Amino acid sequence: MENLIEEKVVWSNDDELFELIRNELFSAVVGDIMDKMGYFHQFMPPQVQPLRDDMFVVGRAMTVLEADCFEELSGSGNNPILSKPFGLMLEALDDLKKNEVYICTGSSPNYALWGELMSTRAKILGAAGAVVNGYSRDTEGILELDFPTFSYGRYAQDQGPRGKVIDFRVPIEINGTKINDGDIIIGDIDGVCVIPKAIEEEVLQGAFEKARGEKIVKKAIEGGMSAKASFDKYGIM
């Protein structure tokens, strides 16, 4: 197999890295590299889709843990968080940093975990997007803001009396995919994947190489090379 990239891709900070990713990468090629490395469960479930097909998200995870509740404000019980509207959701939202992705799970998928006002605050803070293991609402407002949002789809039922954020910046898991605060999130029309921080350099170098190589292979196939011959030469398909 030919080596299709002559030197490592170089970046000095997350701004430069994420711009390179936006310009060159996509979820499928990143997932392919992690498969080769033995990381077989790095995608969100397939029902997590962008609100608009052209939305792309890349940033570092700001993990959020949600739980079901059964009244808006609990006057009894032993957990003071349940006596706060939305639990710690407002604190989590205000803690978002530049280039971070609000990524939330833990609750039943029967109410919205993200909306327009949350998107407004997140965008002001410089956040990169939101990925929720459930529904979003206020769709027209989010689309007008052009804030990258990935969810099960559109559903207006509110989390207020049904769910609360119980912690944030803690490890979470979505359908067998573990997500730690600071992992890289990449999402597009084909899905959302998670790059563990410990392997991000190796994954991304491999993804840049494969993405650039795929362009060469595409030209070769367009020029008449067979699928087998192109794979034998480049090791890409």
Per-10-residue mean pLDDT for the chain, 237 residues long? 68 98 98 98 98 98 96 77 92 98 96 98 98 98 98 96 96 97 98 98 96 79 75 73
Residue 71's domain comprises 49-195
The string of pLDDT tens digits covering residues 167-206 is: 999 999 999 999 999 999 999 999 999 999 999 999 999 9
Q: List residues bridging with 61 in a β-sheet.
A: 101
Q: List residues bridging with 129 in a β-sheet.
A: 101
Query: Into how many domains does the chain fold?
Result: 2
The answer to whether residue 59 is domain-embedded is yes
The string of pLDDT tens digits covering residues 22-51 is: 999 999 999 999 999 999 999 999 999 999
Collapsed DSSP state (helix, strand, coil) of residue 114: strand
Q: If phi over 0 gives left and psi between -120 and 50 gives alpha, with beta otherwise, what is residue 163?
A: beta
- Strand 112-114 and strand 57-68: the pairing is unpaired
Place of tokens 């890349």: 58
The verdict on 146 and 71 lying in the same domain is: yes
The verdict on 110 and 215 lying in the same domain is: no
The verdict on 208 and 107 lying in the same domain is: no
Please give the pLDDT value at position 70: 87
Q: What is the CATH number of the domain that holds 185?
A: 3.50.30.40
Tokens of 147: 């804030």
| Residues 6 or more apart whose Cβ sits within 8 Å of residue 184 | 58, 59, 60, 61, 194, 195, 197, 200, 204
The verdict on 177 and 220 lying in the same domain is: no
Please give the pLDDT value at position 106: 97
